[in-house]
Amino acid sequence: MKNAIILHGGPDKKEYYDPKAPSMSNAHWLPWLQGQLLKNEITASTPEVPHAFVEKKKQAKIDLLRKEDVGLSILLLDEQKFVTPVY
């Protein structure tokens, strides 16, 4: 079975702490993407990235993906829908 880990982007601090906003892993188009993957038999998870508004956290997410054994290929998809291979 194929697996996907979907990491959310770095919001600004105001959005991150907004009590009316959903958690970042459930915001914007992430639930839709997770649903599409699940419908195509790809197990998908959307973990939270604590304090994602901090610039260092954005690079840490990429470093995490490089260190994790998540399969043969890793693709990063940003909010502009640019896909970047990471190896």
pLDDT of residue 76: 55
Does residue 4 have a pLDDT over 90? no
Neighbour-count burial of 24, counting CB atoms closer than 10 A to its CB (0-12 exposed, 13-18 middle, 19+ buried): buried
Q: How many CB atoms lie within 10 A of CB 1?
A: 5
Task: Kindly calculate the radius of gyration of the chain based on its CA atoms and give it in whole angstroms.
Answer: 13
Q: How many CB atoms lie within 10 A of CB 29?
A: 12
pLDDT of residue 63: 62
Q: Tell me the residue type at 62.
A: I
Does residue 67 have a pLDDT over 70? no
Q: How many CB atoms lie within 10 A of CB 60?
A: 14
What pLDDT, in 10s, does the model give residues 14-66?
Answer: 988 999 999 988 888 889 989 998 999 888 888 888 877 776 555 566 666 55
